[in-house]
Amino acid sequence: MRHAPPVSVLCHGRFWRLVQAAVYCLTAAILAAWLASHLAETPVGRVGILLSAVLAGGACLFLALRLIRPTPVELSWDGRQWLLDARPLEPELMLQSRRFLLLRLRGQAARSTWLGVERGEAAVAWHGLLVALRARSTPPVAEGLVG
């Protein structure tokens, strides 16, 4: 069995930042609409509910985009192990589309980190990255064979 060749990608995480901000925005809008409809002493009507949802969602989106500042990191496979900025880790492919990968990274600490990789960031290394993510780092062990 051949091992995947070394590959390295510099990830900025712009798309993942937008996805996170959109989730926070949607959550704030839904919570504001629920609060407006259930906690108001007088009926606020559909316009009031919609207005509160838009204001809360917009404010949350603004704050999320200002506060979520992903720093560029280098994800690399050296032929033996995965590294994130020279720290060993184990990536797990959680979501794949034609233009985006979502990886869960598990390092020495028990806490997981999430990393979004865009096809535009990887450029020519995209195929090599996919091959390395799917390849096994160690050869498979034959099970059930009696020698």
Structure tokens, 74: 């280098």
pLDDT in tens, 11-69: 887 888 888 888 888 988 888 888 877 776 666 677 777 888 888 888 888 888 788 77
Domain locations in the chain?
A: 7-13+71-134, 14-67
Residue type, 98: R
Contact residues for 35 (Cβ-Cβ < 8 A; gap 6+):
52
Rounded to two decimals, what is the model's pTM? Answer: 0.69
Q: What is the Cα–Cα distance from 8 to 66, expressed in whole angstroms?
A: 29
pLDDT of residue 69: 76
Distance of CA 106 to the CA centre of its chain: 13
Taking 50 as the threshold, does the pLDDT of residue 91 lie above it?
A: yes
Closest to 29 measured CA to CA, from 72, 74, 62, 59: 59
Closest to 71 measured CA to CA, from 16, 4, 146: 16
pLDDT tier at 79 (50, 70, 90 boundaries)? confident
The strand pairing partners of 114, in sequence order, are: 104
pLDDT in tens, 54-64: 888 888 888 88
| CB 50, CB 34: distance < 8 Å | no
Taking 80 as the threshold, does the pLDDT of residue 140 lie above it?
A: no
Structure tokens, 79: 């032929």
Taking 60 as the threshold, does the pLDDT of residue 7 lie above it?
A: yes
Q: What is the Cα–Cα distance from 83 to 98, expressed in whole angstroms?
A: 24
Paired sense of beta strands 73-77 and 100-106, if any: unpaired
pLDDT in tens, 103-139: 999 877 767 888 889 998 888 899 999 999 988 645 4
Paired sense of beta strands 82-84 and 87-96, if any: antiparallel
Dihedral angle sign, alpha carbons of residues 132, 137, 143, 146: positive
Residue type, 82: W
